[in-house]
Amino acid sequence: MNRRSPHIALLAALSLCSGTALAQDYPNKPIRLIIPYAAGSVAELIFRTLAPGIEASLNQRFIIEPKPGADGNIGAGEAARAAPDGYTLVLAPTANFAVGAHLFKDLTYDPINGFDYISVLADTWPFATVGPNVPAKSLKDLADYVRANPGKYNYGSQGSGSPTHLIGAAFSQITGNSMVHIPYKGTPPMVQALLAGDVQVTFASMTALLPQIKAGKLRPLAVMGRNRQAEFPDLPTTVEAGFPQLVMSNWWVLAAPKGTPPSIVSRLSSEARAALSAPEVRKKISEFGHNPVGSTPAETSAFVRSESARYKAIIEQGKITLN
C-alpha cells in the first residue's frame, strides 16, 4: 500500500468537508455573473428578467459583469479560471460552449470540461428565409433550386463562425454543398444584402428578420425549431418540411467553473427553472424573440456535449475556418 494514502485520504476528506460547509452556507455574498458580450446584450436582458425571482429565493443579488472581446472568449475564459465556489457564473451562447473549440486554435478554456453546466435558460430558433427574387415557396423548393443551380445561390451570415453561418453550412451540406457563404459584419448589413439580392438566403433569428418579414420584403420558408411560432402559425417547422436534421437554435447556457460543489450547481439550476416558470418571465423572454427553456445540470451537460459534437461535424465536413 502507498504510504501516502492515509494523508491523501485525509486531504480528500477535509476537502469534502470544506466543500459541504461551503455549500451549506451558500450564498452569503453577492454572485458575480460574467456575460462575455457588451452591456445591453440579449443575454443580459434575459438574465435581468429572471434574476429578481432567483435573488429573492437566494436572498442575495447578482452583479452582472459584461466582458466583451474575442467573440466572447475573453469572458468565458475568465469564468473558467475563477474559483469554483459558486460566486462566479457565466451566461454564454452556442458560439462559446459548442462552436469555439472547433474553430479557435488558441482557445484558453475547455468548453466541455472546464465548466459545470447549470441550465439552458433560453434559445431562439432561426428562420430559413429567402429574399424577394427567390421563387421558392417552401424549404423543399429551395433545396431543389440550389441542387439544380450549384454555386449560384449565396447565403448570408452575421460573420464567419456564427450560428447563422454554421446553420447555413448544414443546409448547404444537405443539398450537396451547393451554396456559397457570404459573411457580413453583423446583422444590419446582412439583411440589406438579402434585400438587395446580393445573397439569396439566410438562416437568422426571428428578431433580426421580423420587421422585413412583416413588411413583405422577405419570405420565411420554415422555422428551424421544435414548434411553430405563434406569430407565424402557418409557417412549418423544418421537421414538417421534411428536414428533421435542421432543428437548430442559438441558445444561452448558465454555467459555473468546473469543480463547483454539486449541491450549489443543483440549487442554482432549481432556482433558475423556478424563475423561468413564472408566466410574466416567460412572456418577457418571448418578447426578446427567445423561448424560455430551463433544464437540469445533467440535461444541460448532455445537451452541450451533443451540440458540440454536432457543430464539430458541420465544421469538419465543410472545412470551415475563420481565415
pLDDT value at position 267?
98
235 CB-near residues (< 8 Å, 6+ apart):
127, 220, 221, 222, 223, 228, 229
Question: CA 250 to CA 288: how far, in whole Å?
Answer: 13
Can you give the residue ranges of every domain in the chain?
29-124+250-318, 127-246
Give the residue-averaged pLDDT of 165-187. 93
The owner of cell 414538417 is 240
Per CATH, domain 127-246 is 2.30.30.280? no
Q: Give the predicted TM-score (pTM) of the model.
A: 0.89
Cβ neighbourhood burial of 304 (10 Å; 0-12, 13-18, 19+): buried
Domains 29-124+250-318 and 127-246 share a fold: yes
Give the residue-averaged pLDDT of 218-242. 93
Amino acid at 48: R
What pLDDT, in 10s, does the model give residues 137-169? 999 999 999 999 998 999 999 999 998 999 999
CATH assignment of 29-124+250-318? 3.40.190.150
Question: CA 303 to CA 301: how far, in whole Å?
Answer: 5
Q: For residue 319, name the pLDDT band (cuts at 50, 70, 90).
A: very high
What pLDDT, in 10s, does the model give residues 252-298? 999 999 999 999 999 999 999 999 999 999 999 999 889 999 999 99
pLDDT value at position 229?
87
pLDDT value at position 2?
45
Task: Point out the least confidently predicted range of 30-39, 95-104, 192-201, 226-235.
Answer: 226-235
pLDDT value at position 154?
95
Give the residue-averaged pLDDT of 233-253. 95
Question: CA 258 to CA 272: how far, in whole Å?
Answer: 19
Mean pLDDT score across all residues of the chain: 92
Q: For residue 67, name the pLDDT band (cuts at 50, 70, 90).
A: very high
Question: Which whole-number Å values give the CA distances from 300 to 81, 136, 246, 296, in the listed order?
Answer: 20, 37, 20, 6
